Amino acid sequence: MSREIAKRHWQWATNALKAANRDALSHDARNAVSRAYYAMMHGANATLALKGLKPKTHSGTQALFNEHLVRPGNVDKQRGRDLTQGQHRRTSADYDVSRDVSESQAHEQCTRATAFLIEIRTYLRNAGLRENELDEVPPLPVTKPGPNR
């Protein structure tokens, strides 16, 4: 069962990153930042599912991911930081109407989410999921926002 849950989280992760990239290209920075975070969160939950762990909250995902993947050295420490920072950025993008989210911030978050999923995909393959069970990590949007956006 944990294998099936991990595969489902992985599908949700790649779908969220596709949506984030699409939103970034269509100049919807707030949604891009939010979807990029969800890509990372579902990627993290895929790794945890393979370990039989099922966090109930976003902070639970972060804590378990750091405890079981980052601290033992199974993934780079930067991925733990990216997950935590991603949640803060997502919360701000989704709820703080007084702050703007720039296209460059959206592109940066999509870049972080892409790097996160690339590393997570490698981990999942090494943990026993087969290549044909794992969707490819979507590529970054083709165009990068200009300096004034």
Q: Tens-digit pLDDT profile for the chain (149 aa)?
A: 799 999 999 999 999 999 999 999 999 999 999 999 999 999 999 999 999 999 999 999 999 999 999 999 999 999 999 999 999 999 999 999 999 999 999 999 999 999 999 999 999 999 999 999 999 999 987 665 555 44
- 81 in a domain, yes or no? yes
Residue 24, domain CATH: 1.20.120.330
CA distance linking residue 3 with residue 104, whole number of Å: 36
- 138 in a domain, yes or no? no
- 97 in a domain, yes or no? yes
The whole-angstrom distance between residue 47's C-alpha and the CA centroid of its chain comes to 12
Q: Do 29 and 109 contact (CB within 8 A), yes or no? A: no
- 144 in a domain, yes or no? no
- 7 in a domain, yes or no? yes
- 60 in a domain, yes or no? yes
The whole-angstrom distance between residue 117's C-alpha and the CA centroid of its chain comes to 6
- 146 in a domain, yes or no? no
CA distance linking residue 100 with residue 57, whole number of Å: 26
pTM: predicted TM-score of the whole model, two decimal places: 0.93
- 149 in a domain, yes or no? no
Range of the domain at 64: 2-133
Q: Do 66 and 80 contact (CB within 8 A), yes or no? A: yes
The number of domains in the chain is 1
CA distance linking residue 149 with residue 143, whole number of Å: 13
